Structure 1
Amino acid sequence: MTLTLEQVKEKSAPMLDGLHEVVRLAAEQLVERCYKRGVCIRITQGLRTIAEQDALYAQGRTKPGNIVTNSKGGYSFHNFGVAIDFVLIDSGYDMKADKDSDDMADWYEVVAEAEALGFEWGGHWASFKDFPHFQITFGLTTAQYRAGKKPTAAKIKAARAKIASGIKNEEDEPMTAAEKKAFDALQDTVAQLATSRDALKDRVSELEDKDSMTCPSWAREAVAAAVAHKLMDTPDGASYDVYRLLTIIHRAGFIKN
C-alpha cells in the first residue's frame, strides 16, 4: 500500500511532542522532504525522560539486550528535546536499501536531507556511531543543559535560518541521481511538448488542478518565463509538480526569459 504524506507524518507525530520547537520543525521538514524523494521515514525517538534514559542505559549491562547507548540519564541530548532517531518505514534499519531505485541508498538520502536542515548525524561520530540519530544542540553540551542553560535567541535564529536554507534552491545545487534520472526521462516529453504550446498549457493546467501552493523561490525564474509566454496565468497556486516541471523545462531552454 502506498502511503500518503499525511499517513507518514501521523506515524511520527507522537514522537515530536516535547521536542524543542526548532528541532520539531526540522523533524517535520525531514519527514516531508524525504517523502518527496520517495523515502518514507518514521521518527522513533524524540524527548526521552531521565528515567527512560537510565532504563535504556541498563540494557545490555544490568538488563537483557544489546547495548544501545553509552549515555546515562541526563547525558543524552534526547533528555533535553533536541535529538531524534528515525527508521525507514519500508526497509527498517537496512542502510543499503534503495527502494526508490535512484542509485543512492535510502538511508543516506535521509542523512543528506537531515544535514541540509542543520542536524548533526550520529553516524559521523568517532566512537559509538549512532546511525539512526540526529541532533541540533544549539552549541550547548549536555552538562550545560543539566545546569539549566538554554539556547540563546541568536542560536535559535541561526538554526531556523539553516532550516529555511535547507529547502534547496535547485538553481544553485547539482542534481541528485534521482533528479538526473527524472530529467533524462522528461527530456523526450519536453521535446514533444515544446512543439505544441497548447499541449504544454494543457499539461500545466492538468497538474495545477492537483494541488495549490505559493511559488517556491527556486522556481520563480522559470515561472516568470512561463507567465510571460502565457503558459500559466499567475505564479502562485500551482502544484509542486508544476513548479518542478516548469523549472526543468526552463533549464533545458524550451522556455526563454
Structure 2
Amino acid sequence: MLTLDQVKSKSAGWLGKLHPVLLAGASALIQRSYAKGIPIVITQGMRTIAEQNTLYAQGRTKPGNIVTNARGGSSYHNYGLAIDFALLLPDGKTVSWDTSRDGNNDKLADWQQVAQEAKKLGFAWGGDWTSFKDYSHLEMSFGLTTEQLRAGRQPTVQQVKDALALINGTTGGTDQAISVTLNGVEITRGLLENGITYAPVRAVAEALGAQVTYDAASRTVNLVRE
C-alpha cells in the first residue's frame, strides 16, 4: 500500500504555483481522501494563458475531444485558483477517471467521496455544473470573476483567512495572505503564519532565474541557477 508521503509526492509538480489557499486545500484533500482509502493525484494546477488556449483548441481546431469551454484568461486555472484531480491506482503509477470506481470497497463511488470532501474544504466542484460538467475540476473563486482577476483583483485578506480557517478546521488565527515581490514587482502570493513566510518555491525560484526539480525518492526540492 502506498504511504501518504508517496501519494503526496505524485502531486508535488502541480502545486507550486497555486494560490496559498488552494495549496492548503489541495494538500488537505489529498490527506482526507487517503484517510478514506482513496489515493488521489492532482493532475492540473496553474495554467498559463497559452496552455489554456491550447486546451481550448482541442476538439475545435486541433484533434481530440473538447475538454474546456474556457479560452485563455477565462479559467480559474490561469490564476492558481483551480485544480483537477484523478484517482491514483494501487500501482502508484496509473491514474483513473472512472467516476464509478469503488476502490476502497465501501459501496460508495470514490469520485463522489472525494468531491464531497472537497466541498467541505470550500471547493466548488465542476460535477455540479448544470451545463458543461467537469468532474475533475475543483475551484475557489472567492466571489471574483475571471474578468476581475484579469484586471488585477485579488481575494481579500479576510477571505483568505476565512478560507484557511475552514480548511484547517479552526476559527481565528494569525494567518495572513501576503504579496511576494522582486524589485517591487509581485511575483507570487504567499502566507505569513506565526512569523513564518510560506511561498510557492517554483514561482520565487523562476523569478530569480533558477530551475526547480523535485526528487520524489529523497523528497528534495532542487534549485539550480546557471
If the length of structure 2 is used for normalisation, what is the TM-score? 0.71
Higher RCO (CA < 8 A, seq sep 6+): 2
Bigger share in strand:
2
Taking the aligned partners of 2:72 and 2:29, their CA distance within structure 1 comes to: 27
Taking every aligned residue pair, what percent have the same amino acid on both sides? 55
Q: Which runs of 4+ in 1 moved over 3 A?
A: none
> What is the CA deviation profile of residues 23-64 of structure 1, one whole-angstrom value per residue up to 9, with x for unaligned ones?
000000100110010000000000000000000000000000
Shift of 1:161: 1.5
Taking the aligned partners of 1:7 and 1:133, their CA distance within structure 2 comes to: 23
- In the alignment, what sits opposite 2:68? 69
Taking the aligned partners of 1:89 and 1:52, their CA distance within structure 2 comes to: 24
Bigger share in helix:
1
> What is the CA deviation profile of residues 155-185 of structure 1, one whole-angstrom value per residue up to 9, with x for unaligned ones?
111111111239xxxxxxxxxxxxxxxxxxx
Structure 1 residue aligned with 2:125, among 111, 121, 137?
121
- In the alignment, what sits opposite 2:28? 29
Alignment of 1:15-54 (within 5 A): 15-54=14-53
AA partner of residue 107 (structure 2): D
Structure 1 residue aligned with 2:103, among 95, 99, 103?
99
Taking the aligned partners of 1:16 and 1:71, their CA distance within structure 2 comes to: 21
Max Rg structure: 1
- In the alignment, what sits opposite 1:145? 149
AA partner of residue 109 (structure 1): Q
Taking the aligned partners of 1:138 and 1:37, their CA distance within structure 2 comes to: 28
Taking the aligned partners of 1:57 and 1:108, their CA distance within structure 2 comes to: 26
Unaligned runs of 5+ in 1: 167-257
Q: Residue 88 of structure 1: SS of its match in structure 2?
A: strand
Q: Residue 129 of structure 1: SS of its match in structure 2?
A: coil
Taking the aligned partners of 2:14 and 2:61, their CA distance within structure 1 comes to: 27
AA partner of residue 100 (structure 2): K
Alignment of 1:109-188 (within 5 A): 109-165=113-169
- In the alignment, what sits opposite 2:79? 80
AA partner of residue 100 (structure 1): N
- In the alignment, what sits opposite 1:59? 58
Taking the aligned partners of 1:88 and 1:67, their CA distance within structure 2 comes to: 21
Unaligned runs of 5+ in 2: 90-94, 171-226
AA partner of residue 18 (structure 1): K
Taking the aligned partners of 2:155 and 2:142, their CA distance within structure 1 comes to: 6
- In the alignment, what sits opposite 2:182? none
What number of residue pairs does the alignment pair up? 165
Q: Residue 29 of structure 2: SS of its match in structure 1?
A: helix
> What is the CA deviation profile of residues 6-36 of structure 1, one whole-angstrom value per residue up to 9, with x for unaligned ones?
1100000100010000100000010011001
